[in-house]
Structure 1
Amino acid sequence: MILTQCAVCATDLGLTLGKKCGRCSTRYCGAECQVQHWQEGGHDNLCKKIKKAGGAEQYNANTKYTEAVAVAAEACADDTEGQTCFICTQALHWKTKEGLVRGCACRGTAGFAHVSCLAEQAKILFEEAVENNWGEKVVNERWARWYSCSLCEQRYHGDVKCALGWACWKTYAGRPETDWARRLAIEVLGNGLFGSKDNEAALSVQLAELAMKRRLGSREENILVAQNNLANTYEKLGRVEEALRMRQEVYSGRLKLYGEENERTLISANNYASTLVTLERFEEAKSVLRKTMPVARRVLGEGNDLTLRLRWNYAKGLYKNSAATLDDLREAVNTLEDAGRTARQVLGGAHPLTEGIKGDLRWSSRAILTAASRK
C-alpha cells in the first residue's frame, strides 16, 4: 500500500497525521514507534538506503513494483512462452531480466510485452504530449497507455493491471501532491490493486486519494471518480450498503453534470444497478437498466465493453430473482447468449467479462430447467 500507516503498529495516519523520519520520511504514529523501529525494526540499517532511493514513499513504490512485475510475469508464463516483446523485440528484458506479460484482449502473437517496456512507453508518450502542448484530448489518450493496450485499446486486467499501477505510481510518486500527473497516478494504482483483488490495499489507497482530492479542492467529476472506485472496493469487501450509498450519489451527480447519454453517466448507472442486484433489490435494478441499456446501445454500440456489462447485469437481475417467471428466465438466457457471442468476438474468450457472462449463462440455463420441471 502507499504509506498511510505507521511503519510499526499500522495505525492509520491518512496523508497528514503522525511523525516522519527526518532523513527518509518513513512514517510513524508517534515518537515511541519511531524509536522502536530504529532499535528493533532494522530501520537503522535501512534508513540511508531508503533516502538514497528517494524517500520512504518512493522506496516502497520501487519495492512493490518489483514484486508486482514478478507476480504478473509468473501468472502469464504459460501464455507468453516462446514469444517476444512487441516493444523491445526480446523475450527476456535486457536490463531487468523480467519475463513477458499479456493482460489485454490481444490474441495470437500480438500484445506480448515486458511491464518495464509498457511503462517506459507510457511515460514517453505522455511526456511528449505534455511538452508539445498537444491538448487535453491527446494528453488523455497518451495517459491511457498506463492502463490500456496500445494495440487492441482494451484495458489491462488482473496482475498485469496491478504491476502497471505500481509502475505508474513509482514514476510520479516523487512529484508534489498538487501535481496533476501524481494525482492521476494514485488513481491508476488504486485501480490496479483492485484489479488484482488486493482489496484491503486498494481501500487504503482510494481513501487516501479521496481525502487528497477533497483537501485540494478537485473538480466535482474527479471527486465522483474517486467515490466510484471506492464504492467498488467497499462492495468487494462486503460493505455493500456503504457501496450503494456512494454509487447512488455518483450516479445522481453525473446525471446532473452530463445528462443520460454521457459514458460516465452510463458507467455510474451500471455500477448502481449492479449493487442493487447484489442487495437483491431486483425491481429497482431492472428499472435503472431498462432506461440505460437502449441509450448505451445507441450511443456506444453493441460491442462496447460497457454495453455488454449493462446487458449482463440486466440478465442477472432477471434470473437471480426468486420471483422470476419462466419468461424472465428465458429473457435472461437470450440476453446472455447474445452478449456472450459479442464479447467473444470483441474481447476474446479469456477476457474476464466473457468468462463472467459464460458463467451466468450456465446458471440461468439451469434455472430454466428447474422452473420448467416444476410446471
Structure 2
Amino acid sequence: MVLTQCAACATELGLSLGKKCGRCSTRYCGPECQVQHWKEGGHDKLCKKIKKAGGAEQFRANQKCTEAVAVAAEACAEDTKGQTCYICTQALHWKTKEGLVRGCACRGTSGVAHVSCLAEQAKILVAEAEENNSDDLQWHRWNTCSLCEQKYHGVVRCALGWACWRTYVGRPEVDWARRDAMMQLGNGLADVDHHEDALPVREAELAIHRRLGLPEENILGVQTNLALTYSCLGRKEESLRMRRDVYYGRLKLHGEENESTLETANNYAWGLCGLKRFEEAKALLRKPMRVARRVLGENHELTLVLSWAYARALYSAEGATLDNLREAVTTLEKTERIARRVLGGAHPTTTGIDDHLRNARTVLRAREAGHRVIFTDAVV
C-alpha cells in the first residue's frame, strides 16, 4: 500500500486505518470525508474511472508513471536529440508519444530508448522467466541497462520505478513481484531526492515483510533502504542505529566477503560520516575496502564507493594529518579516474567522487599553507 492518506483531508492513515470507497477503494479517514469528497472534491466524476483503471492504487500509479516519464524525457531531450529507440527504432513512442531517455553508462548513440519500451522489455523477460520457472528471474532489467550493464539513475530510474509499480501493483501482497516493485519505486523516488514520497513506500514495504514473516535477509534489505530515507529526511540517529543493526545482521548471516555485507558496511560508514564520527568510519572501512578489491575487483562500483567513503573520512576528521590528507587525495584521484572510465562522467557516483576530490584538495592546500578548512556538506 502506497496510498496512506485520506483523499479528502490528507490525514495520515498508515496501512489499515480509515475506510475505503466501496467501488474504487479510494481511502478516507471516515464517512464525513468520503461524503465531502464525493460532493465537493470531484470524486463523483472520478469514481467509475478509477474503478475501471483497477482501483485507487492502480489509478494513481498510472498517473504518476505518466508524469515521471514526461519528466525523464524532457531531462534527456538534449542528450537524445536526433536519435531513435534501440528497442522499437522510433523517435516517438508509437502509443504514448513519449520522448527518449538515457540514464545509464552508455555513450554516443547507445542506450537511447523509451521508458515504455524498457518497461515492456523487462515485463516480458520477467514473465518468460516465471513461466519457465527459471532461477534467473531477469528482475534486474527493471533497473539495469541491458547494453552497458550499469544501473539506471536519476529521473530515468524514477520513471522506471513508477513503471514497475504500475505493472505489478495489482498483484496480491504475498506475490514477490509486487513487493519487489515497491522496492523499485522507493529506490526510484530516492534517486531523485523525493524522500518524503519514498518514506511511506519504505515503511509499507517493511510492514508487509514483517507481517508475512519473510526471511531475515529480506527484512534487512528493506531496513537498509529505510535507513537511507531516514537519513535524507534528517533522522540521522535513527538511521544510524538501523544501519548498524543491518550491518552486523548481514555480517552474521553471510560473512565479510558477501556483497550485501560490503554494501551495508558502506551504508553504515556514510551514516557515521553524516554524524561526523569520522574515526569510527575509518576503522570500520579499512577491512571491507580490502575485501571488496579482492572479491569484486577495482572496477566494481561498490569498491569505488567504499574507497570514496574512506577518503571522505580521512580528510574530514578533526585530527587529520598531512599524510591523511595526501592519502585522501590520492585515493580519490584514482577512484575518480576508474569511475569516469567505468560509469561515465555523468553518473552520480562519478560526480560525487569528483566533488569530494575538490574538497580534499582544498583542505590539503590550506593545511600545507598553514590554514584550516572545515566543510559542512550533508552526507547520507
TM range (shorter): over 0.9
Residues 71-114 of structure 1, C-alpha deviations (whole Å, 9 max, x = no match): 00011111010111010011111110000000011111100000
- What is the rounded CA distance, in whole Å, between the counterparts of 2:345 and 2:277 in structure 1? 31
Q: Which residue of 1 aligns with 2:303?
A: 307
Retained in 1: the 8 A contact 2:162–2:185? Answer: yes
Q: Which residue of 2 aligns with 1:128?
A: 128
| 1:185-334 equivalent positions in 2, closer than 5 A | 185-334=181-330
- What is the rounded CA distance, in whole Å, between the counterparts of 1:174 and 1:16 in structure 2? 18
Residue 88 of structure 1 pairs with residue 88 of structure 2: yes
Q: Greater CA deviation, 3-12 or 103-112?
A: 3-12
| 1:69-84 equivalent positions in 2, closer than 5 A | 69-84=69-84
Q: Shift in Å at residue 344 of structure 1?
A: 0.8
- What is the rounded CA distance, in whole Å, between the counterparts of 1:125 and 1:332 in structure 2? 43
Q: Shift in Å at residue 31 of structure 1?
A: 1.1
Q: Greater CA deviation, 248-257 or 30-39?
A: 30-39
State the TM-score, normalizing by the size of structure 2: 0.96
Q: Which residue of 2 aligns with 1:65?
A: 65
- What is the rounded CA distance, in whole Å, between the counterparts of 2:134 and 2:23 in structure 1? 39
Q: Which residue of 2 aligns with 1:46?
A: 46
Q: Greater CA deviation, 245-254 or 7-16?
A: 7-16
Structure 2 runs not aligned, ≥5 long: 372-380
Q: Which residue of 2 aligns with 1:178?
A: 174
Q: Shift in Å at residue 14 of structure 1?
A: 2.0
- What is the rounded CA distance, in whole Å, between the counterparts of 1:65 and 1:157 in structure 2? 16
Count of residues in correspondence between the two structures:
371
- What is the rounded CA distance, in whole Å, between the counterparts of 1:301 and 1:14 in structure 2? 43
The one-letter code of the counterpart of 2:94 is: W
Q: Which residue of 2 aligns with 1:107?
A: 107
Quote the RMSD (CA, aligned, Å). 1.0
State the TM-score, normalizing by the size of structure 1: 0.98
- What is the rounded CA distance, in whole Å, between the counterparts of 1:69 and 1:310 in structure 2? 32
Q: Shift in Å at residue 280 of structure 1?
A: 0.7
- The structure 2 residue matched to 1:158, chosen from 135, 138, 154, is 154
Retained in 2: the 8 A contact 1:2–1:61? Answer: no
Q: Which residue of 2 aligns with 1:2?
A: 2
- What is the rounded CA distance, in whole Å, between the counterparts of 1:194 and 1:356 in structure 2? 16
Q: Which residue of 2 aligns with 1:27?
A: 27
Q: Greater CA deviation, 280-289 or 7-16?
A: 7-16
Structure 1 runs not aligned, ≥5 long: none
Q: Which residue of 1 aligns with 2:376?
A: none
The one-letter code of the counterpart of 1:221 is: E
Retained in 2: the 8 A contact 1:194–1:233? Answer: yes
- What is the rounded CA distance, in whole Å, between the counterparts of 2:159 and 2:347 in structure 1? 18
The one-letter code of the counterpart of 1:173 is: V
- What is the rounded CA distance, in whole Å, between the counterparts of 1:89 and 1:233 in structure 2? 38
Q: Shift in Å at residue 323 of structure 1?
A: 1.5
- What is the rounded CA distance, in whole Å, between the counterparts of 1:311 and 1:330 in structure 2? 14
Q: Shift in Å at residue 2 of structure 1?
A: 2.4
- What is the rounded CA distance, in whole Å, between the counterparts of 1:84 and 1:39 in structure 2? 47
- The structure 2 residue matched to 1:365, chosen from 352, 361, 364, is 361
